[in-house]
Amino acid sequence: MGQPQWFDILQAVVAAMKPYSRRGINVNVDFYAGALYFLQGIPQDMFVPIFAGGRVPGWTAQILEQIEIIS
């Protein structure tokens, strides 16, 4: 059931990235999200809009905070 080979591939990438963690380069939730989007059949050109859509509230809050600080 499912496609377990994808998890194996992701884990191999995580292992390959391990040496870079001391430089602050780490896999994060978005690394896994991309695989999930792909496996759900979401078109690849929608990955970035989905990523950005989930961050718009935070970006907006930061802008409002900056406006408040300036005012």
Residues 4-40: b if buried by 16+ CB within 10 A, e if exposed: eeeeeeeeeeeeeeeeeeeeeeeeeeeeeebeebeee
Domain spans in the chain, listed from the N-terminal domain onward: 4-70
Q: What is the pLDDT of residues 10-66, one digit of tens each?
A: 999 999 999 999 999 998 888 889 889 999 999 999 999 999 999 999 999 999 999
pTM here is 0.67
Please report, in angstroms and rounded to a whole number, the separation of the first and last CA atoms in the chain.
57
Tokens of 50: 């989905």
